[in-house]
Amino acid sequence: MTEKKKKKKTSSLQKLKETMINYIKNIKSYEDWDRFVQMFMMKFPERKKKFETVSGIEIKRLYTPRDIEDLDYGRDLGYPSVPPFTRGVYPTMHRGRFWTQRLIAGTGTPEDTNKRLKFLIEQGQTGLNIIYDLPSHRGIDPDDERAKGEIGKDGVNCCCLEDMRAIFKDIDYQKYSVSQITAIHVLCMYIAMAELDGVDISTLRGTVQSDMFNAIQGCGALASDITRRGKGAIEYAIDICVDIIEFCSKYMPKWYPISIVGRNIREAGADAVSEIAIAFSNGLAFVDKAIERGLNINEFGERLSFMFCCENDFFEEVAKFRAARRVWYKLMKEKGATNPLAMLVRMHVQNSSIAYTAQQPLNNIIRGTLHTAAAVMGGAQSLHTNAYDEAWGLPTEKAAMIALRTQQIIAEESGIMDTIDPLAGSYYVEALTNELEGRILAMVREMQEKGGSVVLTENGWIANLLERNAYKYHRAIETGERVVVGVNKYVLKDEKLDIEIHEIPEEVAQHQIARVKRVRAERDPQKWKEAMDNLRRVCDAKVKDRSVNIMRPLIEAYKAGATLGECYDAIWPPHRFMDE
């Protein structure tokens, strides 16, 4: 650049600066400021033409009191534990006690998982959270051909009472809130174990996931056994969930009989809006069935719990948790609930796995930290943070410990939960909470008008929506529009996998197959036959009369040495709903 040109540029910049200073001095209103910004941007444009949340909500440049003009504190926010519960469900929230820190454990044999649970307890974990492998989810015994290759891989293999006892060996399970990521069978094995141990089951605390919509919508093929059956299969599956709700409300008042899941639906493709809307629409299907059964909404409503995701968009996620509480309150009120405790969203949060990357896996620790912090600020009651190696396999002990430490550091060092709902009153967060609430409520209403979750699961509406959304999400990564550090930006050339991977040895399968065979050989055949005959009789009766509850006969079958595959087939014999 010549001396002359340089001088000319400097003087033009100088002039611009002076103009701007004059302008700034005269800014009195939003309009003035906006005009100033438009001018400023002619010289210094923004990074992007349009800013959006992960869910596609347009983000304004600046939020001001104008964006929450209509906000009425009492009506829209209220106080913690007071409707509409935007600010939280308990009077003292995390000042009273921290959220329950529960990392998912479930690996290999029940003995392996027992070891992992003890390790996590030693490290200060405050709740237990057990995940089961695919055969255990699907009601398949380990020696079944269909279980080949899967035993102990995606969770712990558990197919009989003896397995359950091995999982909890020398663990004082009565002391802990125990979350079981599975459904009725494992719960019944757990109850059978407790009763045989002489434990009063009314003292047991915990949650069973049991939301069968989650299995169908969120875990795809996992539920193909239900979806491949004909009309009525889904309704029957809901009725079985209502059995759990009914049983627990009578005998296990401290147990959450269902965790209505948004999280895995999010992971299957939903965004922040559809995650909550689909979960709530599913939740309403359970509520309707429970009312139909003659249960009191003001009683069972207190025992409904929820599980949500926490994705990358920090403020959108915080706003989502706040909006969710407000929406569910309104929906339950419309269903006739009058007890405020029956309108609460008590939530467990597991952060997003989709957001984790196989590339540069240690970066996932930072993602997990952000997700966990957002969930805490959003008022979660219970949390699982994914370990950094989970894009490669089940976590190693080291990776699981860092995930637990992430929560412990946030709890003990950050101070972010020393006041309740710290982001309330932020123009942005409140505006986003309102926007999300409106969108979620509109979508729930649309789903109800279209026939509700049963119809929309059967006709593929939900599956298609998730698929379209997931397509958009991944397309944006491929085009580079959505940045994923280490994947489409800041990529390491010739990256080598340099973390330890937790591999499940194939001996696990042999161990489990040997055990189930021994259990079948050693049980009292007469007792077993009586228990199974009774279970089959009750399940057959249930098809015609949905008020029949299958919980007690199922518990007794497991006490008599029945296996998961046998009991599953009693509830879902191959012909059931195939031609009805």
Partner 1 sequence: MTSRKLKVLTAKPGLDGHDRGIKYVNRVFRDAGYEVIYIGNAMPKEIVRASIDEDVDIIGLSILSSSYKILIPEFLDIVEEKGIKDRMLLLGGIILPKDQELYKKRGFAGVYGPGTNVHEVVKFINKHFNISS
Q: Interface with partner 1 by CB under 8 A: which residues?
A: 134-135, 138, 140, 145-150, 153-154, 215, 219-224, 267-269, 354, 357-359, 391-393, 466-467, 470-471, 474, 478, 484, 487-488, 496-497, 501, 503-504, 506
- Least distance in Å: CB of 361 to partner 1? 10
- Least distance in Å: CB of 487 to partner 1? 4
- Least distance in Å: CB of 133 to partner 1? 9
Is the Cβ of residue 147 or residue 164 nearer to partner 1 in the bound state? 147
Q: Which residue shows structure tokens 């309009």?
A: 31
Residues sharing a CB contact under 8 Å with residue 306, sequence separation 6 or more, in sequence order: 259, 260, 261, 262, 279, 283, 324, 328, 345, 346, 347, 348
Is the Cβ of residue 62 or residue 501 nearer to partner 1 in the bound state? 501
- Least distance in Å: CB of 475 to partner 1? 8
Is the Cβ of residue 124 or residue 486 nearer to partner 1 in the bound state? 486
- Least distance in Å: CB of 81 to partner 1? 37
Is the Cβ of residue 72 or residue 494 nearer to partner 1 in the bound state? 494
First to last CA, the chain: 84
- Least distance in Å: CB of 495 to partner 1? 10
- Least distance in Å: CB of 506 to partner 1? 7
Look at residues 469, 165, 455, 168 and name the one whose alpha carbon lies nearest to residue 311. Answer: 469
Report the distance separating Cα 133 and Cα 105, nearest Å: 11
Do residues 408 and 445 make contact, with C-beta atoms less than 8 angstroms apart? no
Do residues 538 and 553 make contact, with C-beta atoms less than 8 angstroms apart? yes
Is the Cβ of residue 186 or residue 304 nearer to partner 1 in the bound state? 186
Q: Which residue shows structure tokens 């055990």?
A: 515
Look at residues 297, 288, 202, 248 and name the one whose alpha carbon lies nearest to residue 552. Answer: 248
Is the Cβ of residue 123 or residue 357 nearer to partner 1 in the bound state? 357
- Least distance in Å: CB of 113 to partner 1? 16
DSSP secondary structure, 469-537, as one string = HHHHHHHHHHHTSS--BTTTBSPPTT----S------THHHHHHHHHHHHHHHHS-HHHHHHHHHHHHH
Q: Write out 146-194 in H/E/C secondary structure.
A: HHCCCCCCCCECCCCHHHHHHHCCCCCHHHCEEEEECCHHHHHHHHHHH
Is the Cβ of residue 367 or residue 536 nearer to partner 1 in the bound state? 367
Is the Cβ of residue 467 or residue 533 nearer to partner 1 in the bound state? 467
Can you point out the beta strands (E) in 221-303? 255-256, 258-261
Do residues 157 and 151 make contact, with C-beta atoms less than 8 angstroms apart? yes
